[in-house]
Structure 1
Amino acid sequence: MRNEPTPTAAPTVDPRSTSLSRLLTLVHHHGMLSRAQLTKLTGLNRSTISVLIGQLVSDGLVFEAAPAGEAQVGRPSPEVRPNPRVAALAVNPEVDAVTIGLVGLGGQVIKKIRYTTERIPTAAEAVNIAAAVIAGMRGELDSQYKVVGIGVAVPGLVNAADGLVRHAPHLGWHNEPLAQLLAQACGYPVAVSNDASLAAEAEMIFGAAAGSRNVIYLNGGASGIGGGIISEGRLLAGTSGFAGEFGHTLVRSDGGLCHCGARGCLQTEVIRAPLLALLKLDAGEPGELAGALSASTDPLVAAEVRRQLGFLAIALRTVVNVFNPEAVVLDGFLAALDAAAPGELAVAVAAQALIEPAAQMGIRAATLGADLMMVGAAELAFATLLANPTSAKLKPCGR
């Protein structure tokens, strides 16, 4: 007779730890909530909320303050705020720079340093740059902050489990153990993920899609089009973290060859370069293209905008039919395209997609701007703390 394996007991879930996680996450995402609001949002009673907040205060993760504004009738409920001295480091390697930031609990970008490079940095060079900048901040970090770790936003395919960058085509990186290299260089825990996926999460929590639970984020930049999927309030990563590559959606069967090897990808038809050429612009500041497109009266520019919006609508038709999102958030030059011909993209999508999901979806412009990647990468670093606030063992720190 065959011996059956002994069933493994399910891990015990500590209700207190779960409640602490929920409270800290709510305060982190909202920036400020009163005890009364936390009681309502969690369904916990007031005495339990008081005890849990007391522990978070003791651990230096939140602080309480008297409510601002005019005097209220009755005893006012104290405001609970995240402690911005509990912070995460954020790193974003690009084709022409490596940006390093410090982000406090609550999503506030405290500091941001953009180190420009004369050429595309290798993975080792990006690590060295980030490590050098962080070393220069070390005195300030050690004396004034409690750093939970480093989050890295990379424009490429990343193994979520180990932070291995499998393929970052525009950086020329292949199978780079970025998390391991940066952790060894800096001494902090490191997590790495795709930049567009992190941006999607940041816009859902702090930006244009705050309050929405089903969101598609699309960003257009010099390196192509990336995206992220939020499903029922969670980032949809896929088996290894590769989900959200909307730039490789087929929009034209006889289209140009993409670097992925396929033809007619969205990012071969919807592309920033011809817009810049028609407007006689270099890359410039992020808002420069949007302003120039909106101000242009050149029929050639208008024709190119409509051509690209047409292909973007084809891609969004698929997105709407497959994912049924509440919101599609556009960033980078995609937001500029939409703003240059207000309403045209929404009309084109509605004309092609299924009626019901199209009617439920709104197209919005991203709002976090230049801080987006820092906030998104920091959220990756904060994940462990938010999931289990007692795991960090942080001492109280100033605010």
Structure 2
Amino acid sequence: MSEQGRTIESVRRANLGGILAIVHREGPQSRAALTEATGLNRSTIADLVNTLAGYGLVEERAPDPSHRVGRPSPMVAVHPRVVAIAVNPEVDAVEIAAVGLDHGIRVVERHPQDDLISPEDVARLVARQIDDWRAGDLADACILGVGFAVPGLVRSDDGLVRDAPHLRWTDAPLRDLVTAATGLPVVVGNDATLGTVAEHLFGAARGIDHVVYLNGGASGIGGGIIVNGMPVAGAGGYAGEFGQNRPGIATLADRRARDGVFEDEVSRARLLSVLGLTRADDRELAAALADAASQPSVAGEVDRQRRILATALANAVNVLNPSAIVLGGFLSVLADLDTESLAAEVRAQAMPPCGEDLRILPAELAEQRLLIGAGEAAFAEILSNPAAV
């Protein structure tokens, strides 16, 4: 192919990806709206939409009847058949979902685990779940791939799980194991990093260009960073491991883990222990904390964790100067007890210019944030090159 041919092909590929990304992220759009958003002419938009429809990635629907001025324009929407499988392996359960290209959850199953599950067993579990869904709920679906949100360090170029300490996975070739078991393309990423992407595209951080995200889960605390509207991954893909920082603890009485890191001190397990529970999801944890708020042991542990959390957030504010901090998982539960006082504590410990306009926001996507982020990772290739379908 000539250089000109390659250039024309790359421009067309970019235009196809651009239109697909718009309807993926913004929802159904009229052809007229796509023309305005892209700057392309109407005939080009019609050709591109027809191509995407031919790939089975979008469909055209009847015009919105509320728009009565001028000639009606068909609505372009992602095709409901197109899904990715999203997986979040944790110490207490493996959650598997089918995420639509419209970022809606089609179906989800939670597989509780009494013991730590191995990478090999996760691959087999995912393959069985996909087979079951293909015979039922996803019988007519087009499954583009599998995205994994793993609580650990994941090498970005090949999906090798270098270290997931709570799962006890070391140098686990998860991508290759799941590809072999399912026959599907697989993308593996850190859970909090993928949660950051989901919240930035579709949740609390939508439209905010400078964000720090911290996620608190059963395996500890991870995080992600958005700078100038772009996620920061780091040289190997390991950026955002806030949970491994050494915590700033003002008084010795607040320390629980000698030589421990941030996630050893601010911990879901410690909250569950003081409540006398063995397990609880975020909603159950919030309800239990509310019911036991008058108990001195519970109130004391909550206050201790919030003090340490405020210092950790202030350190992040000083280093990164975000517009917003988004908290997910049990960290959101802690913050929601009194968000304004937590924000005040953070500002009190941060440099005043860095914290003066800071907002602390709960993750909007709730328990779906990691699954939507994993789905987004699986959709990345098709969004950049729709012809790859």
Q: TM-score by structure 2 length?
A: 0.90
Amino acid of the structure 2 residue aligned with 1:237: A
Q: Cα gap change, 1:384/1:356 in structure 2, threshold over 3 Å: closer, same or farther? A: same
Q: In 2, distance between residues paired with 1:342 and 1:141?
A: 40
Residue 382 of structure 1 aligns with which residue? Answer: 379
Q: In 2, distance between residues paired with 1:70 and 1:29?
A: 22
Amino acid of the structure 2 residue aligned with 1:358: G
* Equivalent of residue 72 in structure 2, options 65, 76, 94: 76
Residue 274 of structure 2 aligns with which residue? Answer: 278
- Greater CA deviation, 123-132 or 318-327? 318-327
- 1:220-257 CA-partner distances (Å, limit 9, x unpaired): 12221111112233321111111110112222377565
* Equivalent of residue 362 in structure 2, options 365, 373, 390: 365
Q: In 1, distance between residues paired with 2:226 and 2:67?
A: 40
Superposition map of 1:1-399 within 5 A: 14-70=10-66, 72-140=68-136, 143-252=139-248, 263-295=259-291, 296-392=293-389
Tell me the secondary structure at the aligned position of residue 350 of structure 1: helix
Q: Cα gap change, 1:185/1:32 in structure 2, threshold over 3 Å: closer, same or farther? A: same
Preserved CA contact (<8 Å) 1:305 1:340:
no
Q: Alpha carbon RMSD of aligned pairs, Å?
A: 2.2
Q: Cα gap change, 1:153/1:60 in structure 2, threshold over 3 Å: closer, same or farther? A: same
Preserved CA contact (<8 Å) 1:91 1:99:
yes
Q: Cα gap change, 1:342/1:300 in structure 2, threshold over 3 Å: closer, same or farther? A: farther
Gaps of 5+ in 1: 1-10, 393-399
Q: In 2, distance between residues paired with 1:290 and 1:57?
A: 44
Report deviation, 1:299.
Answer: 4.1
Q: In 1, distance between residues paired with 2:270 and 2:382?
A: 44
Tell me the secondary structure at the aligned position of residue 193 of structure 1: strand
Tell me the secondary structure at the aligned position of residue 356 of structure 2: helix
Amino acid of the structure 1 residue aligned with 2:84: A
Q: Cα gap change, 1:16/1:291 in structure 2, threshold over 3 Å: closer, same or farther? A: same
Report deviation, 1:361.
Answer: 2.5
Q: In 1, distance between residues paired with 2:278 and 2:165?
A: 22
- Greater CA deviation, 55-64 or 155-164? 55-64
Preserved CA contact (<8 Å) 1:252 1:265:
no
Residue 4 of structure 1 aligns with which residue? Answer: none
Q: Cα gap change, 1:65/1:359 in structure 2, threshold over 3 Å: closer, same or farther? A: farther
Q: Cα gap change, 1:68/1:316 in structure 2, threshold over 3 Å: closer, same or farther? A: same
Tell me the secondary structure at the aligned position of residue 14 of structure 1: helix
Q: Cα gap change, 1:133/1:219 in structure 2, threshold over 3 Å: closer, same or farther? A: same
Preserved CA contact (<8 Å) 1:66 1:79:
yes
Q: In 2, distance between residues paired with 1:144 and 1:179?
A: 25
Q: In 1, distance between residues paired with 2:31 and 2:107?
A: 30
Identity of aligned residues (%): 46
Report deviation, 1:302.
Answer: 3.1
Q: Cα gap change, 1:142/1:330 in structure 2, threshold over 3 Å: closer, same or farther? A: closer
- 1:2-58 CA-partner distances (Å, limit 9, x unpaired): xxxxxxxxx957111111111111111122222333233323333332322222122
Q: In 2, distance between residues paired with 1:211 and 1:157?
A: 27
Report deviation, 1:142.
Answer: 8.0
- Greater CA deviation, 369-378 or 290-299? 290-299
Amino acid of the structure 2 residue aligned with 1:389: P
Residue 6 of structure 1 aligns with which residue? Answer: none
- Greater CA deviation, 146-155 or 300-309? 300-309
- Greater CA deviation, 308-317 or 174-183? 308-317
Amino acid of the structure 2 residue aligned with 1:52: L
Gaps of 5+ in 2: 1-5
Q: In 1, distance between residues paired with 2:111 and 2:279?
A: 17
- 1:320-351 CA-partner distances (Å, limit 9, x unpaired): 22222222111111111111123111111112
